[in-house]
Structures are given as structure tokens and as C-alpha cells.
Amino acid sequence: MTLVARVRTRLGSLGLECDLSVESNVTVAVLGPNGAGKTTLLRVVAGLVPLDEGRIEIDGTVFEDTPTRTWLTPEARRVGFVFQDHGLFPHLTVLDNVAFGLRARGVDRTTANARAKEWLERVDLAGYAASRPAALSGGQSQRAALARVLVTDPRALLLDEPLAAVDASGRLELRRTLRDHLSTFTGLRLIVTHDPLEAASLADRVVVLEDGRVTQEGLFGEVSSRPRSAWIARMAGLNLLRGSVSDGGMLLEDGSWVTVATDVRGPALATIQPRAVALYRKAPDGSPRNVLRRSVAGVDPEGDRWRIRLDGPFPLVAEVTPAAAAELRLAEGGEVFAVVKATEIDVYSL
Amino acid sequence: MKIGAVTPLLAGTVGIALASCGSSPSGGPSGSPDPFNGSITVFAASSLTSAFNTAEKGLELDHPGFTAQYSYGSSQALVTELVSGAPADVMVTANTSTMQQLVAKGLVDTPQALCRNELEIIVAPGNPKNIKTLADLATPGLAVVLAAPGVPVGDYAAKALAAASIKLTPKSLQLDDALMVEQVESGNADAALVFVTDVVAAGSKVVGIPIPDAQNVIGTYEIAVLKTSTNMAAARAFVTSALSGAVQTQLLADGFLKAS
Amino acid sequence: MTRDVTRRPLIGLMVPAAVAVLFIALPLIGLLVHVDWGNLPSQLVSGNVLTALRLSLECSIIAVAVSLVIGVPLAYLLARASIPGRRVIRGLVTLPLVLPPVVGGIALQTALGRTTPIGTVLDHFGIVLPFSTAGAAIAEAFVGFPFLVITVEAGLRQRDDHFEEVAATLGARPWRRFWRVTLPLAAPSIAAGAALCWARALGEFGATITFAGSFPGTTETLPVAAYTSFEGSGQIGMAITLSLLLLAISVLVLVVLRDRWLGALR
């Protein structure tokens, strides 16, 4: 089973323009900052938002096709959508909630309730059948919402920020539950999230969506080690440089020059790990290293690794030990020299 | 009220009436002030609306500086208001029993008969249901509206029907003559028993079927000055005009019958 | 006084609030003081009073039922659907609120009276609305139904259609979404609207007496009977008794039952 979507739609100030393809044995996570259009994308697939232009189909069943004005109503698409707030009906019991989709399809009450009960047991909520959704914790209501969708045997599973409405203590457990159910689900699986950890733990493939457009896609490891946009780099905790490589060096966008060791030539991206940026108060001399004059913009203490934000022609983040930060009196700000070895700069083609 | 107290009052009233009889429009004989001065409040049965409103214009023209405010309503409701202490100068009822309530409570000078009114049947123009007599009103299937018991025209109507041994089940017992006319006019009621003056006021919107004197009930309107009046002179002058002056002329012109 | 600082009543607001309470309470207390308590029992069981009571309950309940059947769908369309002329329709709905009730009664006459097109059709089936119990119920529905529509529309607007979307993705078609999701979730505002509509219908006088008239057993509802006692026969005592009865019923239903209904609906 394959979902093929060509999406062009405008919602308010957001212009969503992306092509997406999802296979049934690969969980895809659409990852991106808030406002990127991820939820809109999901809603478009579910039929809650119309396309301005494009086509969505799963294995020949056309959901929407603007040239021929074809449109399948949401209720006819058989897509299981788990909403960010889980969307459990407050006026129904948990059991009636889970049975809702079956009843909507004409299944009689007895059968629907029996199948709903089965699924409640599978998500470990059997004791809550008669409770109201308000009595459930975040993790429990997410599992109930999942059961409600899976009991209807949908052809695709769409999860909108599955861990967002759950507090930190419930997330670990829920992540494991989701992984289990995702792996046993035979249809298409599409998740959207702004949290790289969710993407990394639940998905096989990642599609990065920023400002309505896809900026990168691939395996999570690939994407996070070789980011192609500032956001991804930030998410991965890397410094990102953009420029053009010629013999011995890279001319950056802002005009500055760094020495690099690479075979790549021409337009390229480069990453520097924060811990590879060494800081000095006085310019060091000697070996072929890049010395960049910067000023301290801010200090973010994080455990035993303090992140130092540096102002300059391009943003740079260094990581030092608390002791080093104290010794250099970085908290007071001021001028520093950031030193990066050429070998620590990972260059790759644009 | 004792007879002894009444006489000077009557004498005074007659005196003023005589004085204003031969006077010029702008007031009494030169030297005495025009009693028609200031403002008064008149509570009057709603069937008097048209006549009093027309007469008022004349009064104000003849006596600049005078104005009367009228509060129209069902005689019973007005009496109840006065008993509860509403301020007024003159009261006019469409029957004697409601006025009696004021007399019993000592709130008015001796009432006098103002004029009389009799009943008439009204039907839609063209008389589609062909009603000719009081007895025709009892025809089965006819939608007749009467006024409720306690409302003067309602009591008169009941009396007339009883005297003629006519058993009539009306469709509605209304409280307002104008509403009854409207219901006949709009065709929702086939007929109603109202005052002759209501028919005159309605003009060509309805057709009146006269009731022979033998079957008709004639009701007497009474007028009285309230003892609590704050403008006695003007109140009495008004009563005089109503009994025998410009206002009485207007009443007769509108279809009311003389008091006797 | 509670220990919770923000829940303590603001002194400055207590004065106008007290005035508000007095504003409502004093006339009611005045009414209670003037009740002829001695004669009350015999007055209450007199034929006319019980008939008027039965008639009032009958007509007001029919009025609410009619208002629910036509008002809830209208409220839904005004709140959720993008039908043309919404603003105009909303304005029309508030018309009975601003029309003097007697004018409303005359308006009903011009639409449903015996000589009107609709009236003529109804006459064929033997239904004559003026001077009938049905006519009284319609007059009451006319004045009460705006309260229902406005309350339910406001209630529906407060919520967006999130749950309807959820239902759609689960395979529920529009009619099912309306019955199983929209209506149940709107139940509190429907109940509140129905209560207001019923209270207004119960107390209606002007439109009733103009359109349906007044006749004991057919159209003389409690308010009409009270007014007739006062205006016609001058029996103020009876008028007060009837008003007291109206008051008692309203208090019973609106105060005592309201919380139970709304509590159960949560």
C-alpha cells in the first residue's frame, strides 16, 4: 500500500507545498518547527482541509484530485486520525468512545462493544471501559484514542504529535506502547511531531517540513548528522555553515574564510560539533586551526556541559565544562577567540 | 356622602356652570379668572377615547393655558388604580357599578350621569354571515366575541342576551373594545357586541347591525370629580363642559346618547 | 469568608448586587404580603383556577416542544453553517423580543388568521387557530422561541467543531455527527434555552389574548385569567392568587429542577 500526495494548499498565512510518499512498511515522521504546516498536512490527508491544487491517493483510491474535482469525504476515507488532544468524546464512556467508529459504520451494538472491549484489553485499559474520558490520564487517553482508531481497521494511521498531551513521566511508557502498536499495524503509518526524540524513536524515515516546504528527508541518523537547514542543525545540536569549497578552504556566505580538510568542492554545507569549538580569551598562535574572533552572547548551563552562544558573522555554539566557563569568566561576556580544527569541520555537498 | 354636604357642592358647580355659560371663549366675565387653567388628569373608560381626544383640541384652543391628560382603560381597572391611590382629578366610568366603588370609599364628589350608550352588533363589511338580529348571534358555528364580565359593555351584553333568552357561547371574552372591533375587521370573529360609539369610531371598517330598542340595553356613563384633585377649579369646569358644554357636544356628535 | 483571596466578594460590587436582589425580591414580597392566605385554599380549588392552570401547562409545554423542533435546527444552522443572510435571519429571530406582545398577536393574525391564505388552508382541515387552544400555544411559542434560538446558538458558537471532525474521521456521516455528537454536547444550552422559553411562554398574555382570545377552558391561561380578574371583575385577590400560582410553578421548575437537569447533563 502506498500513499502518494501532491499537496498545494494555503491556510491563512501558511502556504503548504510538498510532495509526500508513504509505503506501508515504513513509519514516516514529518518533523518540523511549530507552524510549519505539519498538522495541516495530516488534516489534508484526512480530508478535513481541501487542496487548492494537487492530488492524494492510496493505491488507486483517489481521495482528492483537483483537476477532475474529485473529493472523498473524510468519513469515506477510512483513515485513522489520532488528534493531538486525543479527541475522546466527553459525553461518552471510554467503551462507547472506542466503539464509536464501528457503530458509525453500521455495526450492531453488541458486536461493536465486544470488539471495543478486546482493543481496550490490548491497550491495557480494560478496567476503564465504563469511565468517562475525563478520568483518564494523558497516557491512558492516548491509548484509548489509539484503540478507537485501530478497532476500525483503517488503511492508514495518522498521529498528530502523539506524545504532546502526555506529561514527561508518562512518555517513556507511551513511546514503548506506540512502537509496539505501530509495528503490528499493517497499513500506512504517518506521524507528525516537532520533537526529534519522538521522530527518532517512532519512525523509520523522517521528512523535515519547514514553513510549508520539505527541506530534507531520509533516515533520522542521516538527517541529523548531515542537516540541510538551520532548524535541523539546531535540533541536532550542531553548528551549520554554508558556503563554497575550493582548495584548502571554504568561503562562507558572510565572506569569512575557514580552513577545511575535505575532498568536496563547490557549494557545500559544513557542521561543527559544539564541543569541537574551543574558547580562549587570548588569540592562540601556532598550528593550522581556524581562529574566529567572537563575543559571548549568552551562557546556557546544561548539567556538566555548558553551551556558550557566540555572536558574530554567523552564529556559533561552543560547549565547555563548567570549570572552563568559570576560569574564562564567560558569564561576564566580552570578546573570546573560538578555535576549531580543520579536521573537526564535517563538509558535505549541497 | 351626606345630603347636607352635597347641596353646597352642587350649588357651587351650577354656579360655575352658569358663570361660564355666557362667557367669552377666553374665560369668565371680565374680572374673574378662567377656571380652565393649569392641567388636570382625567381617567376615562376607553370607549370615550375618540370623543374626549377630539374635544380636548377644542378645549385647548379655547383655553390656552389649560391642558387635560387622559388615561383610558377599563372602568374597573381605573377604579382599582384610584383606590390604590393613583392621582387624578376627574373620573368617567361606563357604568354605575364601578363608580359606586369610588362613592363607597368616599373618593369622589357626587357622580352625575354624563351620557348614555347602547349596544350594537358589528360584522365585517358586506355582512357575509347574514346576521340580522340578536338571536342570529347564537347560530351554531358562528365566531362571536363579547367583552368579559366586569367590563361594562360585557355586562350590558350579557344582560341583553339574558333578557332575550339567548344562549350564546362566545369564542372569546375580551377586555378591550378596540381589540374586538379589530377581530371582526380582520375576519377572525364573525360578530361582536360593542357600543354604538365603537361602531361610529370604526367607520367603514365594520358594519353595524342596530338592535331594536326593546332588546337593547342602554348603559349610563357617570362622571365625578375626585376629592383629592389638586386643581378643583379646572376639574369642575371640565365636568361642566362634559355635562353641558363643548365636551358634551362632542360626545353627542360621536354617537353617545344624552344622559336623559 | 473563604480563605481563598480571589473568591471573597468584592465589597464595591456588593452594593449594586444588593440593589439587584431587592429589585427582584421587593415586588415578590409585596405580592406575598397581599395574598389573601385565608381564602387561598378555596380559591385554588375553584374550577376556573385549576382549568387555567391545566391550560397554562398544556400550552406552554406545547410551545416549548414546537420551539425545540424548529428552533434547534435553526440555531445549529446559524451557528455552524454558512447560509446566506445569516445576519438578517438572526435579526428576524429577535423580532418577537422587541415587538409589544399585542402587536405580535396582531401579526400572528395577519399570518394565520381565518381569512389568510394559510388560515384558509387550515380551515379546510377543520383547524381554526384564532380563539383556539392551539392558537394560544402558537402565540406562546412565538414569544418564547427567540429565547431558545439565541441561547442554543450562543452555546453552539462557544464550541468549535473539533469533535465533529473527530467523528468524521471515524466514519460518521453528517446526520450521525449531528445526532450523536453535536446535540448531546449542546444539551446544557438546549436545556437552558428550553427553560427560558418555557418561562416566557408560561407568562405570556398580550399575544395570547389578541390572537387566541380568552375563554375559560380553551384559551384562558393563568396570566390571561389574572388580567381578566383584575381588569374585568376587579377581583384583585383572585388576580394575586393566580399570579402566585404562576410564580410558584416557575420557581419549582426553574430553580429546583434546573440544577438537577444540568447536573445530570454534565
Q: What is the pLDDT of residues A126-175, one digit of tens each?
A: 999 999 999 999 889 999 999 999 999 999 999 999 988 888 888 888 88
Q: Are residues A262 and A205 in the same domain?
A: no
Q: What is the pLDDT of residue A38?
A: 92
* Domain range list for chain C: 47-265
pLDDT in tens, chain A (350 residues): 899 999 999 988 889 999 999 998 899 999 999 888 999 999 999 999 999 999 999 988 999 999 999 999 999 999 999 999 999 999 999 999 999 999 999 999 999 999 999 999 999 999 999 999 999 998 899 999 999 999 999 999 999 999 888 888 888 888 888 999 998 998 899 999 998 988 998 999 999 999 999 999 999 999 988 999 989 998 888 999 999 999 879 999 888 889 998 899 999 999 999 999 999 988 887 666 788 889 999 999 888 899 999 988 888 999 999 999 889 888 888 899 999 998 899 999 88
Q: Find, in chain C, the residue whose alpha carbon is nearest to that of A150.
A: C170
Q: What is the pLDDT of residue C265?
A: 55
Q: What is the pLDDT of residue B22?
A: 44
CATH of domain B117-218: 3.40.190.10
Residue C132 has pLDDT above 60, yes or no: yes
Q: What is the pLDDT of residue B21?
A: 47
Q: Of A193, A213, A231, which one is at a domain's C-terminal end?
A: A231
Residue B17 has pLDDT above 50, yes or no: no
Substitution target in B171, B179, B181, B185 with the highest count of C β-carbons within 10 Å is: B171
Q: Mention every residue, 6+ apart, whose C-beta is less than 8 A from residue A183.
A: none
Round to whole Å and give the CA distance between C218 and C230: 20
Whether B172 and C214 lie within 8 Å, measured CB to CB? yes
Closest CA to C36 of C249, C252, C244: C244
Round to whole Å and give the CA distance between A188 and A154: 9
Sign of torsion over alpha carbons A16, A17, A23, A27: negative
Whether B76 and C233 lie within 8 Å, measured CB to CB? yes
Of the given ranges (B63-77, B80-94, C25-39), which has the lowest mean pLDDT? C25-39
Residue C70 has pLDDT above 90, yes or no: yes
* Mean of pLDDT over chain B: 86
Residue of A288 and B253 predicted with greater confidence: B253
Residue C49 has pLDDT above 90, yes or no: no
Q: What is the pLDDT of residue B15?
A: 47
Residue B27 has pLDDT above 80, yes or no: no
Length, in residues, of chain C? 266
Residue C88 has pLDDT above 60, yes or no: yes
Q: Is B182 on the interface with C (CB under 8 A)?
A: yes
Our measurement of the distance from residue C110's CA atom to the centroid of its chain's CA atoms, rounded to an integer in Å, reads: 23
User: How many beta carbons lie within 10 A of that of residue A300, not counting itself?
Assistant: 11
Mean pLDDT, residues C57-81 taken together: 94
Whether A74 and C173 lie within 8 Å, measured CB to CB? no
Round to whole Å and give the CA distance between B31 and A90: 90
* Long-range pairs for A225-229: beta carbons < 8 A, 24 or more residues apart: A225/A271, A225/A346, A226/A269, A226/A271, A226/A346, A226/A348, A227/A269, A227/A271, A228/A269, A228/A350
Q: Are residues A279 and A217 in the same domain?
A: no
Is chain C adjacent to chain B, meaning 3+ CB pairs within 8 angstroms? yes
Q: Which residues of A touch C (CB under 8 A)?
A: 46-48, 73-81, 83, 85, 87, 89-91, 100-101, 104-105, 148-149, 152
Q: Enumerate the residues of chain B whose CB falls inside 8 A of the CB of residue C227.
A: 175
Q: What is the pLDDT of residue A330?
A: 87
Q: Which residue's C-alpha cell is 360584522?
A: B123
Q: What CATH number is associated with residue A241?
A: 2.40.50.100
Residue C240 has pLDDT above 60, yes or no: yes
Q: What is the pLDDT of residue B180?
A: 92
With contact defined as beta carbons under 8 Å apart, do A299 and A322 qualify?
no
Whether C232 and B187 lie within 8 Å, measured CB to CB? no
Mean pLDDT, residues C213-230 taken together: 90
Rounded to a whole number of angstroms, the distance between the first and last alpha carbons of chain C is 29
Q: Give the three-class secondary structure for B32.
A: coil
- Residue A348 has φ and ψ, to the nearest 5°, of -145, 155
Q: Are residues A94 and A178 in the same domain?
A: yes
Residue of A165 and C122 predicted with greater confidence: C122
Q: How does residue B19 score in pLDDT terms, banded at 50, 70 and 90?
A: very low
Q: How does residue B23 score in pLDDT terms, banded at 50, 70 and 90?
A: very low
Q: Are residues A218 and A257 in the same domain?
A: no
With contact defined as beta carbons under 8 Å apart, do B208 and B199 qualify?
yes
Whether C231 and B149 lie within 8 Å, measured CB to CB? no
Q: Are residues A179 and A91 in the same domain?
A: yes
Is domain C47-265 in CATH 1.10.3720.10, yes or no? yes
Residue B13 has pLDDT above 90, yes or no: no
* Domain range list for chain B: 3-116+225-253, 117-218
| AA letter at A92 | L
Q: Is B148 on the interface with C (CB under 8 A)?
A: yes
Q: How does residue C262 score in pLDDT terms, banded at 50, 70 and 90?
A: low
Residue B9 has pLDDT above 70, yes or no: no
Q: Enumerate the residues of chain A whose CB falls inside 8 A of the CB of residue C187.
A: 91
Q: What is the pLDDT of residue B78?
A: 92
Number of domains in chain A: 2
Residue B30 has pLDDT above 60, yes or no: no
Q: Give the three-class secondary structure for B73.
A: strand
Whether C170 and A149 lie within 8 Å, measured CB to CB? yes
* Mean of pLDDT over chain A: 91
- Among B residues 55-74, those touching chain C with beta carbons less than 8 Å apart: 73-74
In which domain, by residue range, is A278 found?
237-349
Nearest to C166 among A73, A76, A87 (CB): A87
With contact defined as beta carbons under 8 Å apart, do C152 and C186 qualify?
yes
How many Cα neighbours within 13 Å face the side chain of C178?
Answer: 10
Residue C2 has pLDDT above 90, yes or no: no
For residue range B122-155, what is the model confidence (pLDDT) as tens digits? Answer: 999 999 889 999 999 999 989 999 999 888 999 9
Q: Which residue's C-alpha cell is 426553574?
A: C254
Q: Are residues A325 and A205 in the same domain?
A: no
Q: Find, in chain C, the residue whose alpha carbon is nearest to that of B151.
A: C232
3-state secondary structure chain A: CEEEEEEEEEECCEEEEEEEEEECCCEEEEECCCCCCHHHHHHHHHCCCCCCEEEEEECCEEEEECCCCEECCHHHCCEEEECCCCCCCCCCCHHHHHHHHHHHCCCCHHHHHHHHHHHHHHCCCHHHCCCCHHHCCHHHHHHHHHHHHHCCCCCEEEEECCCCCCCHHHHHHHHHHHHHHHHHCCCEEEEEECCHHHHHHHCCEEEEEECCEEEEEEEHHHHHHCCCCHHHHHHHCCEEEEEEEECCEEEECCCCEEECCCCCCEEEEEEECHHHCEEECCCCCCCCEEEEEEEEEEEEEECCEEEEEEECCCCEEEEECHHHHHHCCHHHCCEEEEEEEHHHEEEEEC
The interface predicted TM-score (ipTM) is 0.85
Sheet holding A79-82, edge to edge: A79-82, A156-160, A188-193, A27-31, A205-210, A213-219
CATH class of B3-116+225-253: alpha beta
Q: Enumerate the residues of chain A whose CB falls inside 8 A of the CB of residue C167.
A: 89, 100, 104
Q: Are residues A197 and A242 in the same domain?
A: no
Q: Are residues A159 and A308 in the same domain?
A: no
